[in-house]
Amino acid sequence: MGGGIKVHGLPISTATMRVLATLYEKGLDFEIVPVDMKAGAHKQEPLISLNPFGQIPALLDGDLTLFESRAITEYIAEEYSDKGEKLLCQGCKKLKATTKVWLQVEGQQFDPIASKLAFERVFKGMLGMTTDPAAVEDLEAKLVKVLDIYEARLSKSPFLAGDCFTLADLHHLPIIYYLMGTDSKKLFESRPKVKEWIKKITARPAWVKVLHLQKQ
């Protein structure tokens, strides 16, 4: 494919961060095309042609256009399986299957709660809105139950799918990053195995590069 990889999005967007981290893990060259959300650019051309739902990110790889960040990361991991970090462990069917289980756990069990909590704790403030303490309390109570399952899982292996870092771990990074900057970090830090896991995955050079983009 010609034309190189382009990511339409913003480095502060959790979904965009997920894609950027995957690209960096693979050591791929790419271009970021900033989308001015405040000006409503996500609902206008050219983005609306790339993602009809008017959300970021969208990825162009030659003549292929993709949206939905988790679908994009799986495409990158499979299309560029010979580059950088494996992320899906293609050579081992059992490990790949376990990775897919925990990809589903992130998307179905962790993110629906954690992203709402991040909205209350972080993004409401960015938007000039007021945090709802009752909502925070309710969401934290729900997240605790999920993290207890993570603690049990991570007592058996250093990463969610097994002994190696995969997309299942990577997909958690953006929301965890934002929540670790709030009082909700106590939920993670009070669980030794979860705390150790977070320390490992947030120290990865690819993730450090994503955070560096936010400062530019």
Report the 3 state secondary structure along 76-127: HHHHCCCCCCCECCCCCHHHHHHHHHHHHHHHHHHHHHHHHHHHHHHHHHHC
Is 209 part of any domain?
A: no
Burial annotation 13-23 (CB, 10 A radius, 16+ → b, else e): bbbbbbbbbbb
Looking at residue 40, what is its pLDDT? 66
Does 45 score more than 80 pLDDT? Answer: no
**Cα separation, 98 vs 165, whole angstroms:** 12
Looking at residue 146, what is its pLDDT? 98
Q: Across residues 57-85, what is the average pLDDT?
A: 96
Question: Which one of 58, 84, 110 terminates a domain?
Answer: 84
Cα gap 154→199, rounded to integer Å: 13
**Same domain (yes/no): 39, 113:** no
Answer with the one of 67, 84, 101 that is the final residue of a domain.
84
Could you tell me which residues come within 8 angstroms of residue 94 by beta carbon, excluding any fewer than 6 positions away?
Answer: none
52 cis-preceded (ω within 30 degrees of 0): no
* 65 in the same domain as 20: yes
Residues 33 and 129 in one domain: no
Domain of residue 58, residue span: 5-84
In a domain, 18, yes or no: yes
- Among 84, 118, 139, the domain boundary falls at 84
The CB density around residue 141, as the number of other CB atoms within 10 Å, is 11
Evaluate if residue 41 carries a pLDDT over 70. no
Q: What is the pLDDT of residues 11-21, one digit of tens each?
A: 999 999 999 99
* CATH assignment of the domain containing 160: 1.20.1050.10
47 pLDDT above the threshold of 80: no
Residue 75 lies in a domain: yes
Q: What pLDDT digit, counting tens, does each position of 117-159 carry?
A: 999 999 999 889 999 999 999 999 999 999 999 999 999 999 9
